[in-house]
Amino acid sequence: MEKLKLQMGDLELKTCDKQLSDGDKYCTAKITKKLEKGSYVIAFWTKGEEGFFLQFVLDRPFQLQEQDAAKFWKIAGFGQNFLDDQYSTEFLSLSKKNNQRNSSST
């Protein structure tokens, strides 16, 4: 997957490494809020059979101040579009490989 890092104020969207996993699901990208010391995750995407899904950490997106909330939704929309493009590219690549296999086996 392509790497992505986008920052708006103290909110940041970036792709994750595969070691950030929850059982058999991998965090593929996350949105964090930076603090004076450290940061915390607001939301993250996991990959399923039908694409990427944004998941909230508790109700953190709804606890943001109005200004940060507007930034959050812009970043979330951008992230979803980016990941949808990644999924489409991956899906088309797999379909092409399967078609080539089927053609060569006949």
The predicted structure's pLDDT at residue 3: 82
Residue 78, pLDDT score: 94
Question: What is the per-residue pLDDT for 16?
Answer: 81
Report the number of distinct structural domains present in the chain. 1
> What sign does the dihedral 38-43-61-4 (CA atoms) show?
positive
pLDDT for 74: 95
Written as tens digits, the pLDDT of the chain (106 aa) is 678 899 999 999 998 876 555 555 566 889 999 999 999 999 999 888 888 899 999 999 898 889 899 999 999 999 999 988 888 877 666 655 665 665 565 5
DSSP string, 48-101: ETTEEEEEESTTHHHHS-HHHHHHHHHHHHHHHHHHHHHHHHHHHHHHHHHHHH
**What is the span of the domain harbouring residue 41?**
5-105
What pLDDT is attached to residue 95? 58
